[in-house]
Amino acid sequence: MTETKADVSIGGKTVELPTRSGTIGPDVIDIGTLYKNTGAFTYDPGFTSTASCESKITYIDGDEGVLLHRGYPIEQLAEHGDFLEVCYLLLYGELPTKTQKDDFDYRVTHHTMVHEQMSKFFTGFRRDAHPMAVMCGVVGALSAFYHDSTDITDPHQRMVASLRMIAKMPTIAAMAYKYHIGQPFVYPKNDLDYASNFLRMCFAVPCEEYTANPVLSRAMDRIFILHADHEQNASTSTVRLAGSSGANPFACIAAGIACLWGPAHGGANEAALNMLAEIGSVDRIPEYIAKAKDKNDPFRLMGFGHRVYKHYDPRARIMQKTTHEVLGELGIKDDPMLEVAMELERIALTDDYFIEKKLYPNIDFYSGITLKALGFPTTMFTVLFALARTVGWIAQWNEMIEDPEQRIGRPRQLYVGAPKRDYVPVSKR
């Protein structure tokens, strides 16, 4: 890491601040001593210019449309790997050998069941509760069931909790879906791969045998890979901040799920499909493009734009390819929503407003069409995002705990409220 300096002058004083360079990407100015030496804070709501940590897990180049997991491009991982291999890579930092992969798959597969009492937990929810509300509640409750893996100072317990989360999220997500539609829960089967097991737990019924279509299982597995991790996005930063207080991993992941639910973040896949359905046909696209450009209209094109990607989101390209594969395998021709999506993308990418603001489709733009074709209702889309992102959250949580520089996160503020004043009795107000 090369060390240079940055000078900051304020109030007639100039202080030298150390800078740091990473492997790739922008340098950082270490402002840890700024307040002590100048009495001033920095101000960066939304953290557009602020690095919260050092990390070795994921790197995004927003201008080049590059996404690397432990140095490996997302295109190569999506093409040649499977989701559990990416989980191993994100957790341990290297691609597994055959022996390591088989052992990891075995350990995850044999942790897919949840405590039988958990099924009672679901019965407290209304059947029409949004599955994300159920996920927030049930995942947060995991710490009430797995007390033996909540000591965050014990690396062994941290890894047990990590594996449990990766293994049990598909089971819990499938249970949330089955409960939502009034069908009985389906137990995991250990002779199935991760994605096939999940599809079977969602779509099998006791009345007949179910075999997952291998093309659809592969597509599901790839969708999980595309959503696995993404640097310090809002939900990952939430998990890190919750974890910085020493909270147990299950509570931290539940916090991440809650944050992901927002339509500006993981909730965008559900919002994007609802938007495509509302647009309904190609001839109504100009009306919505105009709404998106109207500063007085809060409407935004869901699935477009990104804080980091100022060029095409590399995941969106792979997602679009997967969409065509799934629709082709299912024999779905002329899907009206796909037609609207592709025409909306074509128009937006040639429109000056979107070009000037560098708004391109993100991962959420096409994922909804694919997930709907796979048989999921829109209310399950963000649940699937949370299922996949759990490995990213847990890898970043582990990295944060092992980082000697990390301490409890406690931002400061610019106070613009009332100056000090004395209490006024109600009789005198």
Cβ 17 to ligand SDX, closest distance in Å?
26
Gap between the Cα atoms of 358 and 306, Å rounded: 9
**Helix, strand, or coil here: 123?**
coil
355 binds ligand SDX, rule: CB under 6 A: no
Considering only residues 90, 202, 204, 359, which one is a binding residue for ligand SDX as defined by CB under 6 A? 359
Residue 221: partners with Cβ closer than 8 Å, 6 or more residues away? 82, 83, 193, 194, 195
224 binds ligand SDX, rule: CB under 6 A: no
218 binds ligand SDX, rule: CB under 6 A: no
Q: Which helix (H) or strand (E) holds 60?
A: strand 58-61
Q: Which amino acid is at 222?
A: R
Cβ 295 to ligand SDX, closest distance in Å?
7
Q: Quick one: 87 or 268, whose CB is closer to ligand SDX?
A: 268
Q: Judged by CB under 6 A, how many residues of this single chain contact ligand SDX?
A: 22
Q: What is the CA radius of gyration of the chain?
A: 23
Q: Quick one: 178 or 227, whose CB is closer to ligand SDX?
A: 227
E-state strands within 62-184: 66-69, 72-73
**Helix, strand, or coil here: 28?**
strand
**Helix, strand, or coil here: 267?**
coil
Cβ 307 to ligand SDX, closest distance in Å?
3
Find the part of the chain contacting ligand SDX (CB under 6 A) among 16-24, 92-100, 169-177, 357-365: 357-365
Q: Which helix (H) or strand (E) holds 58?
A: strand 58-61
Considering only residues 306, 387, 395, 396, which one is a binding residue for ligand SDX as defined by CB under 6 A? 306
Residue nearest to ligand SDX according to CB distances in the complex: 305
Considering only residues 142, 199, 268, 275, which one is a binding residue for ligand SDX as defined by CB under 6 A? 268
What the block records as the tokens of 414 is 């610019």
Find the part of the chain contacting ligand SDX (CB under 6 A) among 125-133, 275-283, 305-313, 372-380: 305-313
105 binds ligand SDX, rule: CB under 6 A: no
Find the part of the chain contacting ligand SDX (CB under 6 A) among 37-45, 61-69, 192-200, 260-268: 260-268
Angle between helices 155-181 and 194-203 (to 10 degrees): 30
- Sheet with strand 28-29: strands edge to edge: 3-10, 13-20, 28-29
Considering only residues 89, 192, 204, 301, which one is a binding residue for ligand SDX as defined by CB under 6 A? 301
Cβ 289 to ligand SDX, closest distance in Å?
9
Residue 335 a catalytic site member: no
Residue 364 a catalytic site member: yes
Nearest to 306 by CA among 384, 361, 224: 361
Binding to ligand SDX, residues 35-54 (CB under 6 A): 46
> Looking at the chain, how many residues does it have?
429
Q: Quick one: 193 or 345, whose CB is closer to ligand SDX?
A: 345
**Which is catalytic among the residues 180, 229, 306, 313?**
306
Helix H segments across 194-267?
A: 194-203, 214-226, 234-243, 249-260
305 binds ligand SDX, rule: CB under 6 A: yes
Gap between the Cα atoms of 251 and 140, Å rounded: 5
241 binds ligand SDX, rule: CB under 6 A: no
Tokens 């049930």 found at: 138
Show which residues are catalytic.
Answer: 306, 364
Contact positions vs ligand SDX (CB under 6 A): 46, 230, 233, 264-266, 268, 292, 300-308, 357, 359, 362-364
